Amino acid sequence: MMRIGITLLWLIHFLPQSVMNGLAYLIGPIVMQTRAAHTAKTNIRLCFPHLSVAERQKIELNYFRALVRSFLELGLVWFAPAEVIKKRVQLKDVHHYEAVKDGPVIFLAMHVLGLEIGGARMGMEFKGVGFFTPHKNPILDQVIQDSRDRLGDVIMLDRREGLRPMVRAIREGRRLYFLPDMDFGDRDSIFVPFFDIPAATVTTLPRLVSLTKAKVVPVTMWQEPGCIGYTVAFHPAWEHFPTDNLEADVRRMNAFVEAQARARPDQYFWGHKRFKTRPTPSDPYYY
């Protein structure tokens, strides 16, 4: 079944962008009605309780259309020539990176719907390194790895190996593409607010910066309307990070991600059970 799906994405990647967008527009409302949409709808409800039902449904509809579009575009990431991806993904405000590029750099990113194609574009510009958790299907893992090898010099380290190989890679000049906005359980995590809800959040970023003396450069990537493609925007490097207050550092990280998600709620990835781990066993399970 996986091979069939990969073959379909290979065929789809030949389609014009306008056709992909049209398919996403039609398929998105169908996906919105499936059981698989439950987690995303729950997250949107939890994070935007002040909105009316109609307002949240508008976010959901736009989100599922954008989600389908990003899925259809996986074929571009996996099979399209590098020139095609460069044309689809524009880099903005790169001067924020250039101001600190002479030393170690960690790109602070987040789970958005442009993640795969935006990450592929960045992999063409920088010697990269990242964490990954192996997929259950080895065929999918191989396709993803082949695309990274084809498009740039990026190595992926198994999250279970710990920080030592990551620290070594950063010190050797590789740029870490770090996404902290997932629930990995309470191990190596603390509970800090995310949309005013205590969320188990990894403390890896301030720890890595302390060990490597890297500068943190936040990066955002968004779908643009129509056939424009995507924009990857670089933000000013953080000053005074980390501090001697680990909780404050992790709060700062979550606050940045939250601000971006609030700015474009239809493009943040809501399909992960972000609030699965609760501070105490008596807390409600949202999903």
Write the CATH number for 224: 3.40.1130.10
Which stretches of the chain drop beneath a pLDDT of 70?
none
**Residue 129, pLDDT score:** 86
Residue 56 within any structural domain of the chain: no
Could you tell me the pTM of the whole model?
A: 0.92
Residue 190 within any structural domain of the chain: yes
CA nearest neighbour of 195 among 268, 245, 249: 268
**Residue 5, pLDDT score:** 86
Quick: pLDDT tens for 163-203.
898 999 999 999 999 999 999 998 889 999 999 999 999 99
Which structural domain range is residue 223 located in? Answer: 82-263
CA nearest neighbour of 108 among 5, 287, 9, 242: 242
* Amino acid at the residue 27: I
Residue 225 within any structural domain of the chain: yes
Strands 197-202 and 175-178 come out as unpaired
**Residue 152, pLDDT score:** 80
Q: State whether the Cα torsion 45-47-49-52 is positive or negative.
A: negative
Quick: pLDDT tens for 38-58.
999 999 999 999 999 999 999
**Residue 169, pLDDT score:** 92
CA nearest neighbour of 25 among 58, 68, 74: 68
Residue 98 within any structural domain of the chain: yes
Residue 22 within any structural domain of the chain: no
Residue 277 within any structural domain of the chain: no
CB atoms within 10 A of CB 90: 14
CA nearest neighbour of 99 among 3, 180, 216: 216
Residue 36 within any structural domain of the chain: no
Distance (Å, whole) CA 160 – CA 134: 10
Residue 241 within any structural domain of the chain: yes
**Residue 154, pLDDT score:** 85
Total tally of structural domains belonging to the chain: 1
